[in-house]
Amino acid sequence: MITVEAAQDLLFSLVSPLEVEFVPLANAAGRVLAQDVVATRNQPPFSASSMDGYAMKSDEVELHAMFKVVGEAAAGHAFQEIVGAGQAVRIFTGAPVPEGTDFVVIQENITRRGDLITITDEPGTKSNIRAAGVDFKIGTTLESPRQLAPQDIALMASMNIHQIPVTRKPVVALISTGDELVMPGETPGPDQIIASNTFGLKAMLEGLGAEVRVLPIARDTEQSLITAFGLAKSADLIVTIGGASVGDHDLVGPVAKDLGMEQSFYKIKMRPGKPLMAGGLGDSVLIGLPGNPVSAIVCGHVFLAPVIRLMLGLKDIVPTLQTATLTHALEANGPRQHYMRAHVDNGQMTVFENQDSSLLTVLADANALAIRPASDPACEDGRRIHYLPI
Ligand SMILES: Nc1nc2c(c(=O)[nH]1)N[C@H]1C(S)=C(S)[C@@H](COP(=O)(O)OP(=O)(O)OC[C@H]3O[C@@H](n4cnc5c(N)ncnc54)[C@H](O)[C@@H]3O)O[C@H]1N2
Ligand code: MOO
């Protein structure tokens, strides 16, 4: 058995970032920017007023000074003439600042009679003008790679970039295996259960930016698995769930090998997740997850999520671990690195009593996987423990 880190390295070496495609700006949220985008305009393209008021020359601005209003500048409607001495222009937020002016006195500080205005309150020293290009200039770059947040979309819109280079979405085929499984909504027989982790993994993968195809459940026969692998052929990543262990009905490994899988590893020093398997299968990467629901989802966090990030061309694919203080003692760990379901609140960690890998209720209560190194001795409360937030 190899360590989690060794398994991650072997797995990541099978994966490369996918190719670039262009999508309309309106569909780019959440996608990964694959190439830097560069502004070809300045924002604002002109000096603009940041307030509603009157534009004038700064060296004429003082309490009680009077001006003649010679015109108006509104957003989208510049004042076209040059403003002379003793003159002011009525101006609104977002309007270009007229030539000959460099100061806007807000209207609250002005008294107006007809075309005459007087500064009747202290105007202060702030010009209330946004310089041309203060937000971004021609050449300003939004750097890749980055998962595009709403504010990135707004920035690219402002730059007038409307076709966005993004990494193609990884296509993931999810194959659940087992005669005992039915889909949610179906009526299970007395010896059947509902395929659950399949849908937890689908949610996780879609949240990461993958396109997920849930294939029909493969039954515990070679033929059924061969059919499922056939349906999965065009996927970038094929994920099987279950049938990975050593029982007579655990057929994923042997069938995948018959179909040409070049196995990178099988079995790792991880709890839960021991029977994890990975390899190359045709043009796809195959990851065989253990069937126990918690095992599959924990392996999803530790292996699938980084693989998707790598395919998307992101950096820092393995999340940085955090630390919290244990609120109680813990027994010594066994020979496998243990990802224990735990809850962290305000830096204080409680590790749940029952760590059976079938318990989705316990996993649903957890917001952290406390990581115990292999053969970690018993520890007292107050110890700092690494964890992976989930
Ligand atoms: N003799 C040994 N037995 C087992 C070992 C071992 O080393 N020696 N390892 C155990 C460990 S650890 C794990 S983990 C499991 C993994 O088994 P499989 O990957 O072969 O999974 P299955 O047997 O198919 O299923 C296990 C369990 O999970 C349920 N399951 C499967 N798929 C789903 C699904 N999509 N949704 C919900 N539940 C699912 C299945 O019904 C079983 O209850 O092997 C141990 N055995
Ligand atoms: O490794 Mo199994 O995944 O402990 O339950």
CATH number for position 359: 2.40.340.10
Ligand 1 centroid, distance to 356 Cα (angstroms):
12
> Which residues fall within 8 angstroms of residue 269, CB to CB, at 6 or more apart?
1, 2, 3, 4, 335, 336, 337, 374
Whose C-alpha lies nearest to ligand 1, atom 35? 195
CB atoms near residue 65 (< 10 Å): 15
Q: For 3-33, what is each residue's pLDDT tens digit?
A: 999 999 999 999 999 999 999 999 999 999 9
SS3 string of 176-187? EECCCEECCCCC
Nearest ligand to the CA of 334 is 2
What's the alpha-carbon Rg for the chain, to the nearest Å? 31
Ligand 2 pocket list (CB less than 6 A): 271-274, 290, 292, 295, 357
Return the CATH number at 239. Answer: 3.40.980.10
What confidence score (pLDDT) does residue 101 get?
98
Do 140 and 93 share a structural domain? no
Of 372, 370, 373, 374, nearest to 387 by C-alpha is 370
Of 225, 227, 265, nearest to 243 by C-alpha is 225
In a domain, 21, yes or no: no
Ligand 2 centroid, distance to 341 Cα (angstroms):
13
Query: Percent of the chain having pLDDT more than 70?
Result: 100
The 8-class DSSP code of residue 276 comes to -
Mean pLDDT of 151-164: 98
Mean pLDDT of 112-128: 98
Ligand 1 centroid, distance to 325 Cα (angstroms):
32
In a domain, 113, yes or no: yes
Q: For 303-353, what is each residue's pLDDT tens digit?
A: 999 999 999 999 999 999 999 999 999 999 999 999 999 999 999 999 999
Closest-lying ligand 2 atom to the alpha carbon of residue 358: 5
Do 276 and 176 share a structural domain? yes
Q: Which of residues 282, 311, 340 is at a domain's end?
A: 311
Do 252 and 276 share a structural domain? yes
In a domain, 102, yes or no: yes
Return the CATH number at 72. Answer: 2.170.190.11
Whose C-alpha lies nearest to ligand 1, atom 9? 245
Do 178 and 244 share a structural domain? yes
Q: What angle do CA 214, 186, 272 make, to 5 degrees?
A: 55
Q: Are 217 and 193 in contact (CB under 8 A)?
A: no
In a domain, 22, yes or no: no
CB atoms near residue 238 (< 10 Å): 27
What confidence score (pLDDT) does residue 245 get?
87
Query: What total of structural domains would you count in the chain?
Result: 4
For residue 158, give the H/E element and its range. helix 150-158
Do 78 and 12 share a structural domain? no
Mean pLDDT of 217-244: 96
Q: In what order do the strands lie in the sheet with 32-33?
A: 20-24, 163-167, 32-33, 146-147
Mean pLDDT of the chain: 97
Do 142 and 32 share a structural domain? yes
Paired strand residues for 303: none
Q: Which of residues 289, 311, 333 is at a domain's end?
A: 311
Do 236 and 368 share a structural domain? no
Do 267 and 238 share a structural domain? yes
Return the CATH number at 38. Answer: 3.90.105.10
Q: Is 356 exposed, middle or buried (0-12, 13-18, 19+ CB in 10 A)?
A: exposed
* CA distances for 146 relative to 25, 205, 309, 346, angstroms: 15, 17, 11, 29
In a domain, 106, yes or no: yes
Mean pLDDT of 170-192: 97
Q: Are 181 and 194 in contact (CB under 8 A)?
A: yes
pLDDT of 246 higher than 90? no
In a domain, 88, yes or no: yes
How far is C-alpha 225 from the geometric centre of its chain's CA atoms?
A: 33
Q: Which of residues 151, 167, 183 is at a domain's end?
A: 167
Instruction: Outline where 270-359 has alpha helix (H).
Output: 293-299, 305-311
Do 242 and 349 share a structural domain? no
Ligand 2 centroid, distance to 356 Cα (angstroms):
8
Ligand 1 centroid, distance to 376 Cα (angstroms):
25
Instruction: List the domain range (segments joined by +) for residue 159.
Output: 27-43+135-167
Ligand 2 centroid, distance to 225 Cα (angstroms):
22
Of 343, 303, 308, nearest to 326 by C-alpha is 343
Closest-lying ligand 2 atom to the alpha carbon of residue 357: 5
Do 281 and 173 share a structural domain? yes
In a domain, 195, yes or no: yes
| Nearest-angstrom CA–CA distance, 153 and 132 | 21
Ligand 1 pocket list (CB less than 6 A): 176, 178, 180-181, 193, 195-198, 241-247, 250, 272, 274-275, 290-293, 295, 357
What confidence score (pLDDT) does residue 249 get?
85
CB atoms near residue 86 (< 10 Å): 13
Whose C-alpha lies nearest to ligand 1, atom 14? 290
Mean pLDDT of 246-267: 94
For residue 206, give the H/E element and its range. helix 197-208
Nearest ligand to the CA of 181 is 1
Ligand 2 centroid, distance to 155 Cα (angstroms):
46
Do 306 and 200 share a structural domain? yes
Do 283 and 195 share a structural domain? yes
In a domain, 160, yes or no: yes
Q: For 38-84, what is each residue's pLDDT tens digit?
A: 999 999 999 999 999 999 999 999 999 999 999 999 999 999 999 99
